[in-house]
Amino acid sequence: MSWQQLRVQVRSDQLELLEQMLLDHGGLSISYLDAEDQPVFQKEPGSTPLWDKVDLVCLFEQDSNLDGLLFLLQQHPAVEDKASLRLEVLAEQAWERSWMSDFKAIKFGKRLWVCPRWQEPPEPDAINIMLDPGLAFGSGSHATTRLCLQWLEQNISNESYVIDYGCGSGILAIAAALLGAHRVIAIDNDPQAITATIDNAQRNRIPSGLIETYLPEHLPGDIASRQADILLANILAEPLMQLAENFSLLVRPQGQLVLSGILAEQVDPLLEHYKQWFTMDKAVLSGDWGRLTGNRKQI
């Protein structure tokens, strides 16, 4: 059996309405793709609008008549790019995971790969993270994640205790564990991200208990007294600004801090703010995005 796949770029503030419209016309499964290679902006926990603009991909039975739906979408104000509206016929084997073709294996440094779970790793003897990011952000293809993975691959030492604050799919936590960390704490304020991190850690055969996952409000009290050697946070400038003092409590003196998710123009104010607690290095830029690193000052 074949299926019809409809793909359209929409404004995410109208996502719920459009989803309902697709379901009312017989939509069977809806997936979301980042339409503009953006990271997640201001995502509320538990909600699914991930980006400003989203490519909605919806599957329908082969014989569904979609003329009315296509007409409605053509007129809809949330469909700003009418040319993005496409309908194609899919062979059965591809339909469930059709969005996955956009996610490719990527190499970081000399020894680390992030590979889609459904592909053979290009270098089976390398350190391979097999990933299914699902709805949680973090497949390694975005510059903000890439900057963190490159840093981890070069800087992590065996036996490090690492905190991944804003873990998303768990990609950084899993990379840290596979690169030799002896304890990893993965924190996210979105329960979906916690679930994705646990699933992805199991799929990568991370020994049970090596990665602990927490919502911020459930962090056990002893975390503050066991400060980390490395804290990574790929979030966004605004929460990073708010979390600075908290991070200063979570990193041991001389311990390392890695911040990402920062637009180039946001680098300077963040550097200034973090200098209260950390000796900060010069920012590393990749396109529009910057990575900040620093060491916790002695208290």
Contacts with ligand SAM by CB under 6 A lie at 39-40, 43, 136-138, 144-145, 148, 164, 166-168, 171-172, 187-190, 193, 216, 234-235, 239, 261
Closest CB to ligand SAM among residues 15, 143: 143
List the one residue out of 59, 64, 55, 52 whose CA is nearest residue 85: 55
**Are the C-beta atoms of residues 210 and 179 closer than 8 Å to each other?**
no
Closest CB to ligand SAM among residues 70, 212: 212
Closest CB to ligand SAM among residues 191, 253: 191
In the complex, least distance from residue 196 CB atom to ligand SAM, rounded to whole angstroms: 9
Closest CB to ligand SAM among residues 109, 239: 239
Q: How would DSSP label each residue in 168-236?
A: TTTHHHHHHHHTT-SEEEEE-S-HHHHHHHHHHHHHTTPPTTTEEEE-GGG--THHHHS-EEEEEEES-
Cβ neighbours of residue 215 closer than 8 Å, sequence gap 6 or more: 187, 188, 189, 191, 194
Closest CB to ligand SAM among residues 5, 189: 189
In the complex, least distance from residue 177 CB atom to ligand SAM, rounded to whole angstroms: 14
In the complex, least distance from residue 293 CB atom to ligand SAM, rounded to whole angstroms: 15
In the complex, least distance from residue 73 CB atom to ligand SAM, rounded to whole angstroms: 29
Pairing of strands 211-214, 228-234: unpaired
In the complex, least distance from residue 2 CB atom to ligand SAM, rounded to whole angstroms: 35
Specify the residue for token string 């900057």: 147
In the complex, least distance from residue 27 CB atom to ligand SAM, rounded to whole angstroms: 26
Rounded distance between C-alpha atoms, residue 202 and residue 172, angstroms: 14
**Are the C-beta atoms of residues 129 and 114 closer than 8 Å to each other?**
yes
Q: 71: how many CB neighbours lie within 10 A of its CB?
A: 10
Rounded distance between C-alpha atoms, residue 123 and residue 180, angstroms: 19
Q: From residue 286, how far is each of 138, 150, 179, 187, 264 by CA, in Å?
A: 17, 12, 23, 25, 9
In the complex, least distance from residue 225 CB atom to ligand SAM, rounded to whole angstroms: 20
